[in-house]
Structure 1
Amino acid sequence: MTLDYPWTSNGDTEVFPITLLAELTMRAASNAIREKPNWWIKIKDPLIVTNWRQELLLESRTREVRFHLSEEQIDYVFNELDWFARKRQEQVDDAGVEVPIDVGVEGTRRADGLIPEALKKRLLEGVEKLMDKPDHLKDWHPGSNNQVLDLVHPSLFPFVTGRTRVTEQEAIPPLEFIAAGKTQDATPTSESTLHFSQRFYSDDHQWLPTDFDVTSERKVKAKSYINNLHPVEHKEMYPVLEEILERFLPMFEEVLSEIQEFWHKPRVLKATNDRYGPDPEFAEDHWSDSDDDDEDEDEDENEEGDGDGGAKPVKTPKESKKPKYIDSDEYYRTRLPLPIPIPDFTPREDLPRYNLKTFTTPLQVIVKLANIELTPENPSYYGGTWHVEGMANENI
């Protein structure tokens, strides 16, 4: 499917409107409430809401952050939470299933209780079989301190230009015939004509997705081999992953719908040039007469005489000098940020939602399975780094 979500010309380009730290703090506060069990029920209790408000204020005041939550910001957060709770109930009434939760990070959703216990049990049984291999064949993720064991990973056997062989048929063969058919050597990719930095694009490697069909009954069926998951040895894993993807369809649709809003979605708080209040009274004690002192010294060293060892020309003082704050860190510490105007909460406009069963093209999914293993020697895992998956040629 084609989405209006292009790669930028370089890594520093700002694509979307800037989000202020104050707004990110509000999002984090809202998500903290939505992580509480049955928050959509408890938010109807005024006493509980009062306690939650005090928790957010106290946490905001004790954390070392540049912006602390104000009463007006917390008012906005809880007005939005009331709206989230109403929308959630409407969706549950319509669909009768668990609703994806907006976690305050664009293009990201989570859902509690999405996978039933019986399906989870089948998944774990398949994972146990994947883990049943000698230690020297285990693929520990680089930099994970032997805590993250990659079971199915697209980088293990990706497409390699000039080496990977491809089938001549245009149609994807059924799983039971995946090893059959005449093959030919893949031709190297020609020189890229893309208009962005080459660090976003690989001419050598590419992850291999799996095509999944979505039926009109919202059933999901794999059309091709899942890379690094043998279709015979691990045949039982295929229907398990298909059922899990069925459960993920509402989250996929939410994210795809939100992506289309990125270009037009306004920020709650608007960035302005007037970010700080007036200088403190003692500020004049920290200004120097010029920011050209170092430059003058450099010019003195670089100026030469007439070549016979004569005296250097006498320099006249510059007519105008720019003031310079001696300690810029202190300057910004002592200037208070101006209060940011907090608008009244306005419910978001209901936009057309994606429905994956109406798409004529299959879903392309890159499957990953990993197990986090803790031991007495390595008892804690602190997670990985936030990152974007894949490169431009994978177009995830």
Structure 2
Amino acid sequence: MLLCRATSIQVGANAFLSSLHSDRLTHQGFGLGDTLHKRFLSTNTAAPFATADNYQNNDAKKGPLRVPGHGLPVDFEIFEGTGIDTIIGGFSHGFSQWIQHRRNTIKELTMIRIMDALTDKPHWHQKVFDEQIMTKWKLEGMRSSKLMITEKTWEWMVKELRWKARRYAEQGFTTSLETGTVIVKADGKHVGEDLREELKRAVQPLLQVDEAKKDWHPGSEGMVLNLVHPSLYAFVYGRTPVLVDTNVDLGAHTTSIGQRTTTLSADAADIDDDGLRPNTSGEHIYSNRDRWSTKFQWLPCEVAFTGDDGVDVKITSYINNLHPIQHSALYSVVAKMISKSIQPWNEVLGKYQEHYCGFRTWQDGEISQFPDDIPDYELLLCLMNEDGDDLEENRRFVEDYLTEPDNPMYMPAEHGDHPEYRFGPHGKPFPLEGKWWKKNPDLEMALYDKWERVRITEHPESDLSKFDAWAASKPYSTAHHKPAELRGGIENAFREDGLQVIVKLSSIELRPEKPDYTGGSWHLEGKMNEHIVATSIYYYDVDNVTESRLTFRQEAQLDMMDIEYDASNHGPIDDVYSVRNLNDCPGVQLVGSVATKQGRLLVFPNTLQHRVEPFSLVDRTRPGHRRFLVVWLVDPHYRVLSTRNVPPQQKEWWVGFNGKDSASSETAGQEDAYDYKSWTMSREEAKRFRLELMAERTNVMKSVEGSYENYNFCEH
């Protein structure tokens, strides 16, 4: 067991704001006050596995600090229900608590992608009630979708678009890409131009620093500029002190807080070597090490609701890496953006396998193919290999087949295109004599390629009679009611305890010498330590770059028990569900992408994996950028270590600290007496820890992707 030297800090409860009262407190960091005591404390603070009954969200004001990693195992989780009905509590995340009940049909994905494009059009919420415009959009949709959009499908889309428009008029934002999950996109009506300009101004001091002080994200080739990033000065087990009796507050001006700190050891997770953690009965519960961290945790700040109702909030503890005095204006704007995110969070959050799961199309029974008079692939192979008097007749038969018109719904992007296997007028010539098939080793592949291009699969249609149930999220298939916490909104369910959020500010900077951003990788946010359940991204400043999009995918099942199919012919399943490599296909499905234009707020649950798509400079002779604010919501069912409990680790914030009123000449120059240097970090050390944190987190998606269940297409 590691015994760490701990520093006891008595911190002025006026915390950061107190230094505003002294002209000499220009370098105080945030006006920490009175005395620092040195003690040695045991780090054995981890408790056995706990249930929801004895888990406490208390912060130090209300009682002993008891959070995952301090009094509870790092991998602590809440469980709800009893017996076989027991599930992991809290809101869902994509690490282990969410899977789409059934993969969406390609027709449904086509529908939601077209509707996303239509709801990007100016004044779309008015245009959807104009029959002339809707007729034009219908023809465009039918052409662009390779006839996937039929009359019945379009009728559903019209009803859904008008339903969205009515909700937009009430809420100021709209939902999009609704599958088992949903995202929210909000433009100027929800977040006005005044707020965008206010944020843009407040961020300027972070941009206007010396080049040597700019924090370019490791591995970004000098393109991603970190303005505020939680990976720098993250909580480090065995290194970072924790206040155990008190809090670091932004508000109170008169009292002093803080007596003891302790340093938590990295073994607080209580995870065995086999990746299992014990519960109270001595049994084991699976816990994948790569999804938890016993080394690091991002630090959220605390957010309190103001008043008895509504969504207005204030930030009550410092944002990690954002000095609250030097950037007080930015704190105010970030609080406003958190308020703007709350109603969208209510839209996207869900509980374990209880997301919005209505389907616009549903496949049951046999998947039909037609027309029947086109010979199947196996018959053509038999004809091709016959000999004797029928050889020439078979040759003509195969040649005629290879020149059949393609199915207009065939999508090369989905199936792959193979022009090297084409024969006939637009491909290779047919041999005129001899055993012609033996002279063309590509002919077998040509037959298969043509079979893929001519067969027509009957796709399931939308049933307009089910629209109201779909829209109300009522169970008619796999949809579920909203969980109780969301019926009145998180602003009411968690008003007393408030919220915890993690803040990031970044800018992707392109220059003539580096004009192209190649995009990001698939990921979920954070590790399970952070309990992140939703993301809010606001794109407040986009200049001289091409359109960039955020693409989403999710884990999805494909239960074949309800679908009839020929075990030797998986083509129809591929057509309906867009599944390739049928016997070795991971259970994940691309949902779609959303534009990230200036002034847009995007909100989505952490059940969705996402990645940034490439973009480039428009005018390649001058620089361009894409700047955005990210707010991650910590599951409010939990309480994790936050900046309320952890003093700032930035050594430069403490330079000049003397523990007393700086106006007193008697205390000047006494910062060594308070020994902040023994537990704060230099920027170089913080960057070294960041590289370790980043390396650790590269394994998260490998673990998640490695747990996908492959679809099982039985050969029966």
Confirm or deny a common fold (TM above 0.5). Answer: yes
Equivalent in the alignment of 1:39: 124
Equivalent in the alignment of 2:211: 135
Equivalent in the alignment of 2:563: none
CA distance in 2, matches of 1:197, 1:335: 44
Equivalent in the alignment of 2:361: 269
Equivalent in the alignment of 1:94: none
Please show how residues 226-245 of structure 1 align to structure 2 within 5 Å. 226-245=319-338
Structure 2 residue matching 1:150: 3-state secondary structure: strand
Asked if structure 2 preserves the Cα contact closer than 8 Å seen for 1:175 and 1:225, the reply is no
Q: Which moved more, 1:52-61 or 1:350-359?
A: 350-359
In the superposition, relative to structure 1, how do residues 68 and 136 fare at CA in structure 2: closer, same or farther (>3 Å)? Answer: farther
| Structure 1 or 2: more strand by fraction | 2
Equivalent in the alignment of 1:320: none
Superimposed CA distance per residue, residues 92-145 of structure 1 (whole angstroms, 9 cap, x where no aligned partner): xxxxxx522102152421111133333323322221111222323322234444
Q: CA RMSD in A?
A: 3.2
Q: TM-score, normalised by structure 2?
A: 0.44
Q: Does 1:152 align with 2:228?
A: yes
Asked if structure 2 preserves the Cα contact closer than 8 Å seen for 1:213 and 1:220, the reply is yes
Q: 1:349 aligns with which of 458, 461, 472?
A: 472
CA drift at 1:341: 2.7
Equivalent in the alignment of 1:111: 186
Please show how residues 357-368 of structure 1 align to structure 2 within 5 Å. 357-358=491-492, 359=494, 360-368=496-504
In the superposition, relative to structure 1, how do residues 151 and 276 fare at CA in structure 2: closer, same or farther (>3 Å)? Answer: farther
In the superposition, relative to structure 1, how do residues 382 and 262 fare at CA in structure 2: closer, same or farther (>3 Å)? Answer: farther
Equivalent in the alignment of 2:250: 174
Q: Does 1:68 align with 2:132?
A: no
Asked if structure 1 preserves the Cα contact closer than 8 Å seen for 2:182 and 2:356, the reply is no
Q: Which amino acid aligns with 1:40?
A: H
CA distance in 2, matches of 1:287, 1:137: 72
Q: Which runs of 5+ in 1 are unaligned?
A: 62-66, 92-97, 289-325
Q: Does 1:5 align with 2:92?
A: yes
Equivalent in the alignment of 1:208: 299
Equivalent in the alignment of 1:85: 165
Equivalent in the alignment of 2:262: 184
Asked if structure 2 preserves the Cα contact closer than 8 Å seen for 1:16 and 1:263, the reply is no
Equivalent in the alignment of 1:389: 525
Superimposed CA distance per residue, residues 341-392 of structure 1 (whole angstroms, 9 cap, x where no aligned partner): 3211512227663423312221111101011223223345465345321111
Q: TM-score, normalised by structure 1?
A: 0.76
CA distance in 2, matches of 1:354, 1:107: 19
Structure 1 residue matching 2:200: 3-state secondary structure: helix
Superimposed CA distance per residue, residues 27-73 of structure 1 (whole angstroms, 9 cap, x where no aligned partner): 11111111111111111111111111111122223xxxxx8333322
CA distance in 2, matches of 1:139, 1:247: 28
In the superposition, relative to structure 1, how do residues 6 and 111 fare at CA in structure 2: closer, same or farther (>3 Å)? Answer: closer
Asked if structure 2 preserves the Cα contact closer than 8 Å seen for 1:16 and 1:262, the reply is no
Asked if structure 1 preserves the Cα contact closer than 8 Å seen for 2:245 and 2:258, the reply is no
Q: Which runs of 5+ in 2 are unaligned?
A: 1-56, 58-88, 272-276, 278-284, 384-443, 474-480, 533-716
Q: Which amino acid aligns with 2:467?
A: T
Equivalent in the alignment of 1:285: 380
In the superposition, relative to structure 1, how do residues 270 and 172 fare at CA in structure 2: closer, same or farther (>3 Å)? Answer: farther
In the superposition, relative to structure 1, how do residues 393 and 40 fare at CA in structure 2: closer, same or farther (>3 Å)? Answer: same
Q: 2:106 aligns with which of 4, 17, 21?
A: 21
Equivalent in the alignment of 1:99: 172
CA drift at 1:224: 0.9
CA drift at 1:200: 1.6
Asked if structure 2 preserves the Cα contact closer than 8 Å seen for 1:148 and 1:370, the reply is yes
Q: Does 1:223 align with 2:316?
A: yes
Structure 1 residue matching 2:115: 3-state secondary structure: helix
Asked if structure 1 preserves the Cα contact closer than 8 Å seen for 2:228 and 2:506, the reply is yes
CA distance in 2, matches of 1:147, 1:9: 33
Please show how residues 242-257 of structure 1 align to structure 2 within 5 Å. 242-256=335-349
In the superposition, relative to structure 1, how do residues 56 and 269 fare at CA in structure 2: closer, same or farther (>3 Å)? Answer: same
Equivalent in the alignment of 1:378: 514
CA drift at 1:239: 1.1
Asked if structure 2 preserves the Cα contact closer than 8 Å seen for 1:122 and 1:240, the reply is yes
CA distance in 1, matches of 2:527, 2:113: 29
Equivalent in the alignment of 1:95: none
Asked if structure 1 preserves the Cα contact closer than 8 Å seen for 2:167 and 2:174, the reply is no
Q: Does 1:197 align with 2:288?
A: yes
In the superposition, relative to structure 1, how do residues 37 and 22 fare at CA in structure 2: closer, same or farther (>3 Å)? Answer: same
CA distance in 2, matches of 1:14, 1:255: 15
In the superposition, relative to structure 1, how do residues 3 and 208 fare at CA in structure 2: closer, same or farther (>3 Å)? Answer: same
Equivalent in the alignment of 1:54: 139
Structure 1 residue matching 2:191: 3-state secondary structure: coil
Equivalent pairs counted in the alignment come to 344
Q: Which amino acid aligns with 2:92?
A: Y
CA distance in 2, matches of 1:287, 1:262: 50
Q: Which amino acid aligns with 1:274?
A: E
Percent sequence identity over matched residues?
Answer: 30
Asked if structure 2 preserves the Cα contact closer than 8 Å seen for 1:152 and 1:228, the reply is yes
CA distance in 2, matches of 1:137, 1:275: 61
Structure 2 residue matching 1:80: 3-state secondary structure: helix
Q: Which amino acid aligns with 1:363?
A: L
CA distance in 2, matches of 1:329, 1:157: 57
